Amino acid sequence: MVYAYAPGRGAVHGLRLLGGYRGTIHCDGFETYKTMTRETRADALSGTLAFCWSHLRRQFVKIDHEDSPAPAPVAREALERIAQLYAIEKAFRGRSDSERRAGRQAHAQPLAAAVKQWFEAKLGHLAQKSVTAKALRYALRHWDSLTLYLDDGRIEMNTNAVERAMRPIKLNAKNALFAGCDEGAENWALLASLIETCKLNGVSAESWLADVLAKLVNGWPAARLDELLPWASTYTMGAQDPRLAA
């Protein structure tokens, strides 16, 4: 897992990080991601955007719970329909990529098509400046990217795993607000990348860092640096030891 610090949220920072990347970019509907893949840019990425259903769902949750003093039947039904898609996804969790794709095509694809038709129908009967209409337009405007996961078993339906990994970094942001400088933030991003990668591999970050630093100080050969990575068998086998649990 890689964290990267940037002094802003503009496309230039994302392009610097992902320059030359070809593949799927899992994200929300933030405009910067679209800018990064816009064909009119000379430095545009060749990646395909796969948008997150959780970000769409949260808009309807907010309408249903906060924005509407009166009942919000459209938002409520939208949540119920999205929940059906999530139920299908849950049924195929942990399966192979090909099995997930087949299951999605057989069960989620028809349901998603019905959801789109329902969104379009409801949008035509709402005040166009209402928050519900805005949420429906967001869904329809990003529909191809929202449903990209139906054709590729490798793609997740949402970016929740990434958001969970970002939460501790965000929680620390206020504590670090007035500490250090840009270079310090870059160093913290590097350290956070190492720590979270250890966690993903079930390795104690503290034990790993202590072992790696000791080996480097004692002249570990550069040609064998791959043996010091958190996913190397030297460390992942030791992860079974409860004393090394992250």
Per-residue pLDDT tens over the stretch 120-156:
999 999 988 999 999 999 999 999 999 999 999 999 9
Q: How confident is the model at residue 7 (pLDDT cuts 50, 70, 90)?
A: confident
Q: What angle is formed at CA 186 by the lines to CA 158 and CA 190, rounded to 5 degrees?
A: 65
Per-residue pLDDT tens over the stretch 89-129:
999 999 999 999 999 999 999 999 999 999 999 999 998 89
Give the model's pLDDT for residue 98.
96
Q: How confident is the model at residue 241 (pLDDT cuts 50, 70, 90)?
A: very low
